[in-house]
Amino acid sequence: MVTYKGAIAHKVTKVIIVTGTNAFINTSLIMFQKIANILSIASFVLITSTLGASYFGYKYLTSEQFKAKMVNKVLGEVKGLLPNVMDNALPKTTGLSIPTPPIKR
């Protein structure tokens, strides 16, 4: 069947709008929005915890306490590797000084 509105012809079609399909689409969009919100909150928590850990790690690494701890650890390892080197490196006695010519001015 064809109807006319002015000069434009319209063909009558029978369209069945399935309410279940529309409800499913709306529900899917709402569920997607909930999932996206949860993921954004999880991302925010992850980023803030990473930034916080980085800040406190930097503060610890630049502290005097950490510096002293590392110096003591390194010196302990060096002393363990070279136990008697410094004892034998210095002579017991020294000789006379080497004479040098006087400086002319």
User: How many CB atoms lie under 10 A from the CB of residue 53?
Assistant: 10
Domain boundaries, the chain: 18-79
DSSP string, 11-26: E----PPPHHHHHHHH
The mean pLDDT value of the chain amounts to 80
Rounded CA Rg of the chain: 43
Rounded Cα distance between 82 and 25, Å, is 76
68-101 pLDDT per residue, tens: 999 988 888 777 776 666 666 666 777 788 888 8
